[in-house]
Structure 1
Amino acid sequence: MKKITLFLLLISLSFFFCGKKKYEDLYTIGIFQFNDAPHLNEVRKGVVRALWDNGFQDGVNIQLETRNGNGSTPEVQRIAQEFVEMNVDMIVAISTPCLQAALIATHEIPIIFSSVANPYLAGAGKSAQNHMRTVTGVASKGPIRQSFAFIMEALPGAKRIGTLWTPSEINSEYYLELARREGKKFGLEIVDVPIANKSQVLHSAQVLINKKIDAIYQISDNTINESFQDVGNVARENAVPLFGGFLFSTQLGACAALGWDFFEMGYKTGEIAIRVKSGENPVDIPIQSMSKVRIHLNLPVAEKQGIRFSDEYLKKADEIIRSENNSRFLSDS
């Protein structure tokens, strides 16, 4: 009886250790994002979908370690260091703060980034072809010039355009400077109000309204995007036109938005990750960018904000919300 019991115990232990070894031997990808901003969530979903579509499933033939920094730079830095200590095979950094943290944490583990407005400013390299040997990814510089051209058509008399920004995010500072530069070409003055964290978005949006602006063009940054609906509420209460810097903003109070499909961006990032997993060297893969500017419109919100869109833009739009029942923002108000 004792021999049988010992035999069964040995079999159980062998299954345990074999299973454990098999799990540890899986190619491990550490994926992290700065916070729960809608555009970052879309990127993450796109990455995972690209892996899935190409036959890579979490827990089957790869291991995904997914983390969220909850809007904290120290937490993002801790996660990057955690990935290094775990000896992951690859890091996918979703957002500028995550890329910066990954670059500090390791110079050996491949880093694939996404949703980074200016990767060169973040330290990834000098150009799309000349970048760090372990780093590549998808840049997300937004279509600021096209957005202002759109705003001027929708609101021809606009002179003062307001925006919030987050000084602790270099991508936000970059977008603010880009908005100022491009705004001048359209005769627009950019009126800005800085915020320190997402809890300040509502009050700062109210401060911005009091600066006698003609409209808000909210530049895209991680902190503000996570609390974009606060900006939408203030715009609605004051009947001030609100234009977003990311597509999902039309679900959160913007009458219109020009930008990238962040799920598509994530998918493109996932495809790069697959190439690196398959043996390609990141230094040989040029940093990519998005090309198709998409247009989303919310007609019920636009009507409340005093905006009418031309037939040209109605035809160009990739998505149009035509009724309040289909608008998450208005139905929740």
Structure 2
Amino acid sequence: MGIWLWRHIVPGVSAIGLAAIVLLISDLPRRSSSDASKSQPPQVVMLQMSSQSIMDEAAVKVIAGLAEAGFVTDQKSADQSGKGRAIVLTRLNAENDMATANAMATEVVGGRYDLIITLSTPCLQAVANANKRDQVRHVFGLVSDPTVAGVGVGSGPMDHPPYMVGIGTLPPAEKSFELAKQINPALKRVGVVWNPAEVNSEIATKVARTTCQKLGIELLEANAENTASVREAAVSLIAREIDALWIGGDITALSAADVLIQLGNQAHIPVFTCMPGNAAKGALFDVGANYSVVGHQVGKLAARVLAGEEPAKIPWEVAIPPKLFLNKGVIGNLKGEWKFPKQLLDQADVIIDPAAKEPLKTTLTRPGCSRPVCRGCSIDRVCG
């Protein structure tokens, strides 16, 4: 009986013990890695869609928001202050190429990142599609309407995937047309170049259609699938004798804003937008959200997640801090009756008036402020 037990039971027990030892040994690296990760700076990656001023400035403010909450990108600063915690921040830019954005999203989701921050609707969609297994926590911003982006965000503040949270910022398309009509009551025909592949652009264009119908404006549309085709689309619209060009929340058109403004100048018609940053380039006016403020809010939200709050327990938000830029230097080159009413000038956050100072300078003003700044400087750095 003793021999039988030895031959039949002991080998089984030995096998179980051996298996346990193997599992224990194989788990050691994971434990060591896990323990080490607690002492390592969190790995954060920020993905933006293109090199536009509003995205660049928002990205800078995201970093500022993180720092204000105690997460700094400089280990030395963290050590000196004794209060901050260093993070390793990787910045990526898809340069307005969706295939690149998708490739980057796949790469970062598969990487060892503690948090992904995305700026723009296309980047939100790219990362959400790659992150369907909830592998990485995700904070989004500079998104027109996340509820129609197809990423699982609903209308309720807590209706979002458990690993994702962020801020929606709908461009005020309706307000931009109301202001254009206020500046030129005779406005009848407006052209828009937009990319149907961009959900954010489709949202703004639909609002523009409804608003134009209400205001008695004919909206003429031309599609552009990439920045290279924006010029041709705009030329086709100008040939149809439009009174102005409008840029909505379309990243493709915004990336070619200089081209649209140049064509508008040649045709003596204005370009107006619902996205800040273009009046300084020569647009007649911008009315939209202050994306620097939004970026700061995104940074503070990302810091909450890094600090240990679960995204599932944080409501997603809507933030549209308003900002109005007027460019008085454009008026003199326009055909038609374009004029800024005094009431509108009083409401403006920033007024660009090249004639007010010496050449190569632009005066940016808001009530109680009148300081010159070189054209290449950031407006927000002076008046924001």
Q: Same fold (TM over 0.5)?
A: yes
**What pairs up with 1:94-173 in 2 under 5 angstroms?**
94-106=119-131, 107-122=134-149, 123-129=151-157, 130-173=159-202
Do structure 1's residue 292 and structure 2's residue 327 form an aligned pair?
no
CA–CA distance in 2 between the matches of 1:255 and 1:83? 39
Question: What's the counterpart of residue 3 of structure 1?
Answer: none
Show CA shifts across 1:25-70 (max 9, x none): 2111110011112221122111011112233222521111110112
Do structure 1's residue 32 and structure 2's residue 47 form an aligned pair?
yes
Query: Structure 1 pair 57/23, CA: closer, same or farther in 2 (3 Å)?
Result: farther
Instruction: For structure 2, list consecutive stretches of 5 or more residues without a partner in the other structure.
Output: 1-35, 76-85, 364-373, 377-384
Are the aligned partners of 1:23 and 1:59 in contact in 2 as well (CA < 8 Å)?
no
Amino acid at match of 2:97: S
Question: What's the counterpart of residue 214 of structure 1?
Answer: 243
Query: Structure 1 pair 128/302, CA: closer, same or farther in 2 (3 Å)?
Result: farther
Are the aligned partners of 2:137 and 2:163 in contact in 1 as well (CA < 8 Å)?
yes
The CA RMSD over aligned residues, in Å, is 2.1
Superposed displacement of residue 291, structure 1: 3.4
**Which structure carries more relative contact order (alpha carbon 8 Å, separation 6+)?**
1
Higher-Rg structure is 2
CA–CA distance in 2 between the matches of 1:72 and 1:23? 36
CA–CA distance in 2 between the matches of 1:239 and 1:113? 39
Question: What's the counterpart of residue 58 of structure 1?
Answer: 73
User: How many pairs align?
Assistant: 311
Do structure 1's residue 326 and structure 2's residue 361 form an aligned pair?
yes
Question: What's the counterpart of residue 217 of structure 2?
Answer: 188
Question: What's the counterpart of residue 236 of structure 1?
Answer: 265
Superposed displacement of residue 150, structure 1: 0.7
Q: Secondary structure at the match of 2:170?
A: coil
Match of 2:296 among 246, 264, 267: 267
CA–CA distance in 2 between the matches of 1:302 and 1:95? 32
CA–CA distance in 1 between the matches of 2:166 and 2:331? 35
Are the aligned partners of 2:47 and 2:117 in contact in 1 as well (CA < 8 Å)?
yes
CA–CA distance in 2 between the matches of 1:22 and 1:273? 19
Instruction: For structure 1, list consecutive stretches of 5 or more residues without a partner in the other structure.
Output: 1-20
Amino acid at match of 1:36: S
Identity between Structure 1 and Structure 2 (%): 26
Are the aligned partners of 1:297 and 1:319 in contact in 2 as well (CA < 8 Å)?
yes
Superposed displacement of residue 292, structure 1: 2.9
